[in-house]
Structures are given as structure tokens and as C-alpha cells.
Amino acid sequence: MTVVNTIRVNGVDHEIPANWQAKRLLDYLRTELKLVGVKEGCGEGDCGACTVLVDGEPMCSCLLLSGVVGGREVTTIEGLPREYLDKFSSACETHGGVQCGFCTGGVAVMSSWMKNGGTETGVEPVSKLLEGNICRCGGYQQLTNAIADIN
């Protein structure tokens, strides 16, 4: 039996220590790697604040065990290209897409996935693709407009 326990996070390989295998990826990223742009909102897979890309697909890092992600590539908001983050933040500024900012990290990751051609059926609007990111400030329309405005 082999446990693949290396993960590549934002382009850098990390050995996941044995005591982290059965803990949440969210905690590993925040505590061990200090990638605190990954937020814990609900811890139940609903809010999307902890969204990261695993092999390029958005997932909730609060419902993934570190051991399960062995051998795969994880991208957090810290790993998004600076150029993209600049576009995202200026679009949010223009459209009023940020209030408290807690959901913003997850939304940034999600929007970068969309802008890289991410889709399920090829026809969904931004609002549908953003269904897994809850914003309690009520900024959905602003966020949707901001993301639509990024080119």
C-alpha cells in the first residue's frame, strides 16, 4: 500500500507529514503553509470561502482530506497570477464587488477558473457558476458584473 503524500501547492512541491494526512486540506494550507487567503466560512462545503483549484477544478478545501489530494496540484488565491489579481481587484472596485471581503478569496479563485474557460455544460451564465460562493454582504449582482467585466 502506498500513500502518495506529495502535493504541489502554487507550483511548489510539499511532503504532507503523516499527522496531516487525515486533516482537512484547508487546515494544512492555512496552518502549515500559512496560505491564509484560503478562508474558513462555514466549514461545511456551502459557502465557498475555502475554494481552491485541485488539478485545475474548484473544490471546497474544508471537505477534502490532505491525504486524498496526494499527487495532485493545488492552487490557492496566493498562486493566481499577479496580472489576473490586478484585473480582478480593479473590476471589483469598478462594480462595488467587495464589501467585507471574506468571500473574496474564494470568488477570485472561482473567477480565474471561469476566465480560463471553466464550465460544466458550456452554456452557464456567471451567476450559475458562482452558485457555490456565498456572499453575506449581498453583493452577488456586483460580483457577477465585476467577473463579467474581466477580459
* Identified binder of another protein from the candidate list 58, 79, 97, 139, rule CB under 8 A: 58
Q: How far is the CB of 45 from another protein (least distance, A)?
A: 6
Distance of CA 112 to the CA centre of its chain: 9
Q: Are strands 73-75 and 6-9 parallel, antiparallel or unpaired?
A: parallel
Q: If you write DSSP's letter for every residue of 18-47 in order, what string do you get?
A: GGGTTSBHHHIIIIIS--TTS--SSSSSSS
Binding mask 71-110 for another protein (x = CB under 8 A): ---------------------------------------x
Q: Which amino acid is at 140?
A: Y
- Segment lying near another protein (by CB under 8 A), choices 6-14, 54-62, 75-83, 88-96: 54-62
11-15, Cβ contacts within 8 angstroms, sequence gap of 24 or more = 11/79
When asked if residue 148 is in the footprint of another protein (CB under 8 A), the reply is no
Q: Site for another protein (CB under 8 A): which residue of 9, 14, 24, 111?
A: 24
Q: What angle do CA 102, 108, 109 make, to 5 degrees?
A: 110
Cell of 54: 485541485
Judged by CB under 8 A, does residue 134 bind another protein? yes
Residue among 31, 90, 116, 141 that touches another protein (CB under 8 A): 31
Q: What's the start-to-end Cα distance of the chain, in Å? A: 46
| Site for another protein, rule CB under 8 A | 1-4, 21-24, 26-27, 30-31, 40, 43-46, 48, 51, 54, 57-60, 63-65, 67-68, 70, 110, 120-121, 129, 131-134
